[in-house]
Amino acid sequence: MRREWSGSVDLHLDVDPSRGRRAGLERALREAVRSRRLAPGDAVPSTRALAAELGLARGTVSAAYDQLAAEGYLTAVPGGRTRVAAAPAPEPAPAEPAAAEAPAHDLLPGRPDLSTFPSTAWLRSTRRVLASAPPDVHALGDPRGRRELREALAGYLGRARGVHADPARIVVTSGYAQSLGLLAAVLRDLGTESIAMEEPGHPFHRAIVRRAGLAVVPLPVDERGARPDRLGRAGAAVLTPAHQYPTGATLRPDRRRAFAAWARDTGATIVEDDYDGEFRYDRQPVGALQGTAPDHVVYGGTTSKTLAPALRLAWLVLPAHLVEPFAEAKRLADAHTPSLAQLVLADLIGTHAFDRHVRAARLRYRRRRDLLVETLRDRAPRVRVLGVAAGLHALALLPDGGQGEGEAMRRAAFHDLALMPLHDHWQDPGERPQGLVVGYSTPVGAAYPAALDALCAVLAQA
């Protein structure tokens, strides 16, 4: 319904003259139109009436009306009233993608039991950090990371993983994905054209390396780990020596020596992804490959498996010649990783709360591993379970002649179970073994037995 403004003016406008009377009137009229106090089709007061009401010159009001008409807020008809323009139909906002409903059971690999995050210890360390941190903790810092964390990591990695770690050669990053992407770009800039990556291996990591402009050379893996005789002309190699992903193989000592010799003889770089090296169940954790060739091996670690992936805390221990170019790449990427979380982790390590958490997690995941192996042996005896000496996942190989991965994934969907097929990890799937990568660390708390029941239902016809 159109409203006419005649006689006494009944329009409240809060005109701020601090930047000029005309500009103040224009802002007030725009606000009235946007807030729908002046609706489309409404006639605005005449210039004479509004000027008298506001104590402005009529020419000021007329100029404001002209400007708003030019902007599309008002329409002026010769000989008629000036009215609020019809509002154009707003463009529909892009639809938010529907959030995927979480499956009832989750055995995807790559995540710890998030319900066991050491919240009490983290809070205790946070309080200590906030009570004692200098003001510069809130400023942009060294792109290599806080000195406190680099020193704590040097001590921890040396005693727990056998890494030769000088704090000056450690750079803290926002997750292993950033570590790998920045390092691939640095190696590219230094002349590397191709990187050997394990086959099968992590498809996301291959995508990161390719995005940096490097070619990926498939590096076959067998029960003894990656094969050094298949490196070809690659200028670097990415390895998971302690617990190969996804087969679970441990790189044998003779192959460790062969890879180290290759790097020393050719000047190549080895990237050691020690993503879950703390979790070894048959004996003491295997020491890092980096300890045998610290000038040629980049050691990569992360809190994603020990604490939580959302912390976005990872680190690289770099050969001396890569520290400065990598630190500069980190600076240009995001300046630095947030300081408070770094200091809290440093406190956790320094008070040994981190060690206690890892030991408790190791015992808990070993029990889960044992239950997985026993359950599949009893209820799906034709399925071979590999890679269970360490880590947070196992490879369940499907027998020849039984259901393949496609059928297993269809049955998993029917039972509302999230699983990872082995097929996705091959660069060249072709005629490959059929299997499922089972993340036994992923279910939260007491949800694990039910997830195992669902897995056995999927594999009942294997």
Show the domains of the chain with their CATH numbers: 21-84 (1.10.10.10), 117-355 (3.40.640.10), 361-459 (3.90.1150.10)
Q: What is the pLDDT of residues 138-180, one digit of tens each?
A: 998 899 999 999 999 999 999 999 999 999 999 999 999 999 9
Q: Is residue 412 over pLDDT 80?
A: yes
Name the token pair of 371.
Answer: 């239950």
Q: Show contacts of 320-324: CB within 8 Å, 24+ apart.
A: 320/169, 320/295, 322/183, 322/186, 322/269, 322/298, 323/144, 323/168, 323/169, 323/171
- Percent of the chain, pLDDT > 70? 94
On whether the CB atoms of residues 245 and 275 are closer than 8 A, the answer is yes
Helix (H/G/I), strand (E/B), else coil: 356:
helix
Residue 361, token pair as written in the block: 């997690």
Distance CA 397, CA 405 (A): 10
**Three-point CA angle 54, 56, 62, nearest 5°:** 105
The confidence score (pLDDT) of residue 5 equals 46
**pLDDT reported for residue 220:** 96
Q: How far is CA 41 from CA 38, 44, 65, 86, 206, in A?
A: 8, 9, 15, 6, 60
Tell me, what's the pLDDT at 7?
A: 41
The residues that bridge with 437 in the sheet, in sequence order, are 395, 420
SS (H, E, C) 10-21: CCCCCCCHHHCH
Q: pLDDT tier at 93 (50, 70, 90 boundaries)?
A: low
448-458 helix and 405-414 helix, angle to the nearest 10 degrees? 130
Give the pLDDT band of residue 37 (cuts 50, 70, 90). Answer: confident
- CA–CA distance, 288 with 160 (Å, rounded to integer): 9
- Rounded average pLDDT over 341-352: 98
pLDDT class of 88 with cuts at 50, 70, 90: low
More confident site: 390 or 285: 390
pLDDT value at position 99? 65
Kindly report, residue by residue over 115-147, the tens digit of the pLDDT: 999 999 999 999 999 999 989 899 988 999 999
Distances from the Cα of 253 to the Cα of 242, 257, 307, angstroms: 11, 6, 29
Q: Which two tokens mark 415? A: 């039972």
pLDDT the model gives residue 381: 94
In the three-class reduction of DSSP (H, G, I as helix; E, B as strand; rest coil), residue 315 is classed as strand
Can you give the pTM of this predicted structure?
Answer: 0.81
Phi/psi for 232 (5° steps) reads 60, -135
Q: What is the mean pLDDT of residues 188-217?
A: 97
Task: Read off the pLDDT band of 80 (50, 70, 90).
Answer: confident
Residue 4 banded pLDDT, cuts 50, 70, 90: very low
Q: Rounded to an integer, what distance in angstroms lies between the CA atom of residue 178 and that of residue 176?
A: 5
In whole angstroms, give the CA distance from residue 93 to residue 392: 42
Q: Which residues pair with 43 in a beta bridge?
A: 83
Mean pLDDT confidence for 417-435: 91
3-state secondary structure at position 218: strand
Q: Are 219 and 251 in contact (CB under 8 A)?
A: no
Question: What's the maximum distance between 2 C-alpha atoms anywhere in the chain?
Answer: 99
Q: What does the pLDDT read at residue 91? A: 62
| Residues 81 and 69: beta-carbon distance below 8 Å | no
Per-residue pLDDT at 242 exceeds 80: yes
pLDDT at 62 over 70: yes
